[in-house]
Chains A and B, each alone.
Chain A
Amino acid sequence: MISPFFLLALPVLLALGTLLLPRVFTGLLSCACYLVGAGLLIPVVAAGESHLLSLPWVSQLGMDFDLRMTPFSAWFGFLIFTIGAGIVLYAASYFHGNPRLRTILSCLLFFTSAMLGVIWSDNFFVLFLFWEATSLFSFLLVGFHHEKDDARAKAAQGLLVTFFGGAAMLAGFILLWLESGVTSISALLEMDLASNPPSTAAIILIMLGALTKSAQFPFHFWLPNAMAGPTPVSAFLHSATMVKAGVFLLATLAPVMHSHPIWTPVLVPLGLITVILSTYKGLREEDMKGILACTTLAALGLLTVLAGIGTPAALKGFVIFLTAHALYKAPLFLSAGNLEKRFGTRQLPRLRGAILTTPVTGAVIVISILSLLGLPPFLGFLGKEYLLKAAWDFSPLVACLTALAAAGALCVGLRLLMPLLARQDRAEVKKAIPVAMSISTAIPALAALSLIALYPWANANLLARAASSLSRETVAGFSFWHGLTPALGLGLGALLLAGTAHLILRKKATQPVGKSFFEGIYDATIGALLQASKKIAGLLEEGSLRHHLAFMLTAIGILSLISLQITDWPSLSNPSSRHSAIFIALSPALAIATIAAARASNPLAILVSLGFVGLLIAFLFLWFSAPDLALTQLLAETLIIFLMAGVLFKNRQKPNSKSGHAWRMIVAGAGGLLVTLLILKSMALEWDHPVSGYYLAESKTAAFGANVVNVILVDFRALDTLGEIIVLAIAALGANAALGAARTRSPLPGNSSSPWLAAGLPLVIGLLVPTALWIFWRGHNAPGGGFIAALLIASAIGLGQLGERPFLTTQRMRTISRRLLVSGLTIALVSSLLPLSQGLPYFTGLWWHSGDFHIGTPVLFDLGVSLTVIGFTVSFFRHFQLSRF
């Protein structure tokens, strides 16, 4: 058997392929692959065995990628592939010359995979994911003409209704899981569902999901609206596949759920109401696609009735009805598109006699409508027959009601067929139908015809197997003649009734139906939600950044107030406060510098005060046993001042207004106090540091480095560092993009050249560069390392730019920074990938030893980090040219 996983992935692979292939081939190739896929599924159906396949995923959450391939789901897959083959070929021709052909084709292909996922998933949650994916792709496809307001609104309507149902269904699945402990359909089918409140609630929620998806009353309004989508989309999604997902789920669950007291009494009436409402709407519709949408609604209603009855006989009828409907509805939709191409309209009164002038499309329409009307020898006859038979066996009353409702649907079918056959006032032909469109319209119809031609074989090997697997009892097959049964009588009666009704209603002028009451409820709900969110947004964002920030900070503050209660106050008699003399002096100095920075308004004052803050914090780091931090901080501060000087002196902004001084003070004071309290509280928490303990213990033996901080950066947590340098590289590229025209900027004012600078610079730079190399080398065992060395080199380059003759032009800096960024990232990546060549995991350190001398890939990684940081800094020097002071 072909792996279902492969078939599931096939459309996605094709979608990726369409990006590479010339546009001409995409439709043909997808069509051919779909036909192959359909062909591969036939032996699976014919074998008549069910398979469960599992791919472990998130087992802890009960989520494994389980597929359940029964003859019925394989048969449904066959139908999807067959109809899909016609659709993709049709779409390629329909959108010929449209620049977004690839978009719609790949959406159709992705949708196919999602749909196959829905019918083949065994796990509830995987099923849910695919289910939502079909809704999402349906949204994208219906809204394909997104420049039209109408298309967007209707696409959103379908999406919201089906997402609402999907969410309900997920809740139902979770309830079911909690109640019965099963997370898969196959397991659920093996058990008896207790009739208690939780399982009743679960059933209602799952039904809600299925009914929204299949557009059953009271959610029936979205399906005719979804006809705003392009024709191939309507043909595929809203007739043959997506809307069937709901009734498919109902039918799959019916064997275990139909005995529940709520199942049949809910589903059968809802299905019948949907049929009647769709008839009412269909008899007033003039648009061919609109009429087809109504007959689809009716068919879905009848399928819901069958799933609602849920007996093996009903499920048997379900299989043949679904097959017949899928194979006649898709060609009808595609024909509507063909007629629109040929006659320039889809309005029935202007398509009079259309069939007579379009041989291929005309034949397809006639065959399909005859099947729709349930005439022998077409599959639709079998569908109608077995529907009424199952209904009669269940209850004669339901059978009569079903026959009445079906008569309405047949009347809509006649209303569609008759004008197309009219001999008087024929419509004028405008254009020819492209050959590819005619052929692709015929593909599903040909499939239906070959099923009839090969009926004895197909009946025994395909239809009987699919029906047996769905109804869970051995079914011999379907037969056209059962003798004179009530079902036959009801079917004939329905047809006669429909014919009579058609003759009576034919001459009546009709008015299209307005919005249904339930669509009004939908509109009102969405409108109220939009209004409310606009009001809330208006309250929170009134346009001022200060107020917005203040609001957010206050919210964060209030939330963190809660965490103040978690711990006690710390004991303040900490023994380590012995050597705190220097610290006690440092703190007030830092406080003064900070306050100065808060109040400074001219550029020089800002730079000096910020420089002091950074410097004093570097001392704090040193005091608290963090020499690496102190070095990094010192250098980063130097460079920050360097860069800020370039910007601040050029951007002379108006001094900040003193307005709102008081409330700023209040918010700031409260924030500062809160942070102080939170830190004090957090210090009272005593916890052990198993991670740090591990690093301290293993640093020397596993990573051959005595400086644990550096070892963490380049070895233990090297992946974090890799992410960090990638961020730096992206920031440099982003700044390049933002300041692309930086070269034209005027030089800084106050050009000065000092003899001290000229004499001192070479000396300082001459000292800095070897120091940086030394610091890089010692980093693994003593304070230092790649970051610090890089910042030192960057400072040297920055100093070099200060002199009268800067040694790097802007253009050269641009080249150098780019090369450094690329080579740095490459070296870092190579050092992380090297262990893979030895069969070791990603980022394992590889070491070469020579006595006490160790060298390994972490050193190489550190080099990469270093180069990236230099490249990053140089790229910013370029933007804030300080050269001509």
Chain B
Amino acid sequence: MEILISATIGILVAAGIYRLLGGTKVDIIVGLVLISQGANLIILASGGLKHNAPAILTDGTKNTDAMADPLPQALVLTAIVIGFGILAFMLTLLTRSSAK
């Protein structure tokens, strides 16, 4: 699974870089979207990947070690919203620079 997720992120970043080097404004926006998706996955992966163990506490929760790490998730959640904000801002710049 580690190899698979690493390769997936690698492909996302590679595609992002390829797009970024395309030279047009749209290329740069698409490239950044792809790279930021990859970056979000990197942060999530850095906390260790766990299946079916969300960090939601129930009354009977004893073993919190088995739970997914909530900190990277909080970071990624912020990153998604900020990434959305940056993208929106870049889109305005794009509109602005092409409006004559």
Q: Mark B63-81, 1 if CB is under 8 A from A, else 0.
A: 0110111110110111011
Instruction: Judge whether B95 and A647 touch: CB under 8 Å.
Output: yes
Residues in B neighbouring A706, C-beta threshold 8 A = 56-58
Instruction: Judge whether A664 and B56 touch: CB under 8 Å.
Output: no
Residues in A neighbouring B22, C-beta threshold 8 A = 546, 656, 664
Instruction: Judge whether A679 and B94 touch: CB under 8 Å.
Output: no
Q: Report Cα–Cα, A643/B53, bound state, in Å.
A: 34
Instruction: Judge whether B26 and A576 touch: CB under 8 Å.
Output: no
Interface-forming stretch among A218-226, A416-424, A631-639?
A631-639
How far does the Cβ of A230 sit from chain B's closest Cβ, in whole Å? 42
Q: Report Cα–Cα, A12/B98, bound state, in Å.
A: 47
Q: With contacts A651-B94, A671-B13 known, is A613 near B74, CB below 8 A?
A: no
Instruction: Judge whether A727 and B80 touch: CB under 8 Å.
Output: no
Q: With contacts A632-B77, A644-B91, A708-B56 known, is A550 near B21, CB below 8 A?
A: yes
Interface-forming stretch among A114-122, A136-144, A278-286, A717-725?
A717-725
Q: Mark A385-428, 1 if CB is under 8 A from B, else 0.
A: 00000000000000000000000000000000000000000000
Q: With contacts A545-B23, A713-B77 known, is A580 near B1, CB below 8 A?
A: yes
How far does the Cβ of B95 sit from chain A's closest Cβ, in whole Å? 6
Which residue of the partner chain, among B7, B15, B37, contacts A676 with CB atoms under 8 Å? B7
For window 646-667 of chain A, which residues contact chain B by CB distance below 8 Å? Answer: 646-648, 650-651, 653-654, 656-657, 660, 664-665, 667
Q: Mark A583-598, 1 if CB is under 8 A from B, else 0.
A: 1100100110011011
Instruction: Judge whether B81 and A636 touch: CB under 8 Å.
Output: yes
Give the interface size bracket for B toward A: 35 or more
Q: Mark A561-580, 1 if CB is under 8 A from B, else 0.
A: 00000000010101011011
Q: Report Cα–Cα, A671/B91, bound state, in Å.
A: 26
A872 interface contact, C-beta 8 A:
yes
Q: Which residue of A lies closest to B68 (CB)?
A: A625
Residues in A neighbouring B42, C-beta threshold 8 A = 675, 679
Q: Report Cα–Cα, A640/B6, bound state, in Å.
A: 25
Q: Report Cα–Cα, A700/B47, bound state, in Å.
A: 21
Interface-forming stretch among A178-186, A195-203, A436-444, A691-699?
A691-699
Which residue of the partner chain, among B45, B52, B57, B95, contacts A683 with CB atoms under 8 Å? B45
A466 interface contact, C-beta 8 A:
no
Instruction: Judge whether A633 and B80 touch: CB under 8 Å.
Output: yes
Instruction: Judge whether B18 and A676 touch: CB under 8 Å.
Output: no
Q: Report Cα–Cα, A590/B12, bound state, in Å.
A: 9
B48, B52, B77 — most chain A CB neighbours (10 Å): B77
Instruction: Judge whether B70 and A869 touch: CB under 8 Å.
Output: no
How far does the Cβ of B79 sit from chain A's closest Cβ, in whole Å? 9
Q: Report Cα–Cα, A237/B64, bound state, in Å.
A: 66
How far does the Cβ of A689 sit from chain B's closest Cβ, in whole Å? 6
B42, B82, B91 — most chain A CB neighbours (10 Å): B91
A530 interface contact, C-beta 8 A:
no
Residues in B neighbouring A709, C-beta threshold 8 A = 55, 70, 73-74, 77
Interface-forming stretch among A312-320, A324-332, A342-350, A731-739?
A731-739
Q: With contacts A617-B40, A682-B46, A692-B69 known, is A699 near B57, CB below 8 A?
A: yes
Q: Report Cα–Cα, A808/B70, bound state, in Å.
A: 39
Q: With contacts A667-B17, A734-B89, A739-B95 known, is A620 near B33, CB below 8 A?
A: no
Q: With contacts A595-B11, A651-B98, A709-B74 known, is A656 near B27, CB below 8 A?
A: yes
Residues in A neighbouring B7, C-beta threshold 8 A = 587, 591, 676
List the count of A-B residue pairs having beta carbons below 8 Å apart.
283
Q: Which residue of A lies closest to B37 (CB)?
A: A617
Which residue of the partner chain, among B27, B44, B67, contacts A621 with CB atoms under 8 Å? B44
Q: With contacts A625-B53, A724-B82 known, is A672 near B45, CB below 8 A?
A: no
Q: Report Cα–Cα, A610/B29, bound state, in Å.
A: 11
Instruction: Judge whether B64 and A625 touch: CB under 8 Å.
Output: no
Q: Which residue of A lies closest to B58 (CB)?
A: A706
Instruction: Judge whether A626 and B44 touch: CB under 8 Å.
Output: yes
Q: With contacts A626-B76, A676-B10 known, is A576 near B21, CB below 8 A?
A: no
A672, A683, A717, A720 — most chain B CB neighbours (10 Å): A672
Which residue of the partner chain, among B34, B67, B93, contacts A598 with CB atoms under 8 Å? B34
B15, B26, B81, B99 — most chain A CB neighbours (10 Å): B81
Q: Report Cα–Cα, A625/B73, bound state, in Å.
A: 9
Instruction: Judge whether A675 and B19 touch: CB under 8 Å.
Output: no
Instruction: Judge whether A727 and B38 touch: CB under 8 Å.
Output: no
Q: With contacts A700-B57, A708-B56 known, is A590 near B8, CB below 8 A?
A: yes
A629 interface contact, C-beta 8 A:
yes
Instruction: Judge whether B73 and A629 touch: CB under 8 Å.
Output: yes
Which residue of the partner chain, among B9, B30, B82, B96, contacts A606 with CB atoms under 8 Å? B30
Q: With contacts A668-B15, A738-B93 known, is A620 near B41, CB below 8 A?
A: yes
For window 823-879 of chain A, which residues contact chain B by CB distance below 8 Å? Answer: 869, 872-873, 876, 879
A669 interface contact, C-beta 8 A:
yes
Q: Which residue of A lies closest to B69 (CB)?
A: A692
A627 interface contact, C-beta 8 A:
yes
Residues in B neighbouring A677, C-beta threshold 8 A = 6
Residues in B neighbouring A577, C-beta threshold 8 A = 1
Q: Which residue of B lies closest to A545 (CB)?
A: B23
Instruction: Judge whether A591 and B91 touch: CB under 8 Å.
Output: no
Residues in A neighbouring B47, C-beta threshold 8 A = 689, 692
Instruction: Judge whether A713 and B78 touch: CB under 8 Å.
Output: yes
For window 755-788 of chain A, which residues contact chain B by CB distance below 8 Å? Answer: 781-783, 787
Instruction: Judge whether A626 and B73 touch: CB under 8 Å.
Output: yes
Q: With contacts A625-B50, A636-B84, A706-B57 known, is A712 near B71, CB below 8 A?
A: yes
B3, B4, B14, B49 — most chain A CB neighbours (10 Å): B14
Instruction: Judge whether B54 and A625 touch: CB under 8 Å.
Output: yes
Instruction: Judge whether A597 and B85 touch: CB under 8 Å.
Output: no
Q: Which residue of A lies closest to B4 (CB)?
A: A587
Q: Which residue of B lies closest to A875 (CB)?
A: B88
Instruction: Judge whether A669 and B14 touch: CB under 8 Å.
Output: yes
Instruction: Judge whether B73 and A628 touch: CB under 8 Å.
Output: yes
Instruction: Judge whether A656 and B24 touch: CB under 8 Å.
Output: yes
Instruction: Judge whether B85 and A727 touch: CB under 8 Å.
Output: yes
Which residue of the partner chain, among A647, A691, A717, A876, contacts B94 with CB atoms under 8 Å? A647
How far does the Cβ of B42 sit from chain A's closest Cβ, in whole Å? 6
Instruction: Judge whether B6 and A680 touch: CB under 8 Å.
Output: yes
Instruction: Judge whether B88 and A632 touch: CB under 8 Å.
Output: no
Q: With contacts A610-B30, A629-B80, A728-B81 known, is A598 near B9, CB below 8 A?
A: no
Instruction: Judge whether B73 and A738 touch: CB under 8 Å.
Output: no
Q: Which residue of B lies closest to A742 (CB)?
A: B95
Residues in A neighbouring B77, C-beta threshold 8 A = 628-629, 632, 709, 713, 787
Instruction: Judge whether B92 and A739 touch: CB under 8 Å.
Output: yes
Q: With contacts A617-B37, A629-B73 known, is A643 near B17, CB below 8 A?
A: no
Residues in B neighbouring A576, C-beta threshold 8 A = 1, 49-51
Q: Which residue of B lies closest to A693 (CB)?
A: B64
Q: With contacts A625-B68, A629-B80 known, is A679 near B5, CB below 8 A?
A: yes
Q: Which residue of B lies closest to A646 (CB)?
A: B91
Instruction: Judge whether A657 and B23 touch: CB under 8 Å.
Output: yes
Q: Which residue of B lies closest to A681 (CB)?
A: B6
Residues in A neighbouring B99, C-beta threshold 8 A = 745
Q: Report Cα–Cα, A740/B20, bound state, in Å.
A: 28
Instruction: Judge whether B51 and A643 touch: CB under 8 Å.
Output: no
Q: Which residue of A lies closest to B29 (CB)?
A: A644
Q: Can you list 23 contacts pairing A with B, beta carbon distance less than 8 Å?
A: A587-B7, A590-B8, A613-B33, A613-B34, A620-B8, A624-B44, A625-B53, A625-B68, A626-B54, A629-B40, A633-B80, A639-B84, A651-B25, A668-B14, A669-B14, A676-B9, A679-B45, A699-B57, A706-B56, A709-B74, A717-B74, A727-B85, A873-B88
Binding site for A on B (CB under 8 A): 1-30, 33-34, 37-38, 40-42, 44-58, 64-65, 67-71, 73-74, 76-78, 80-89, 91-96, 98-99
Given contacts A598-B16, A668-B18, list 18 more A-B pairs with CB under 8 A. Answer: A549-B21, A574-B1, A580-B4, A598-B15, A598-B18, A598-B19, A629-B80, A640-B84, A651-B98, A656-B22, A676-B6, A692-B71, A707-B56, A708-B67, A709-B70, A724-B82, A739-B96, A787-B77
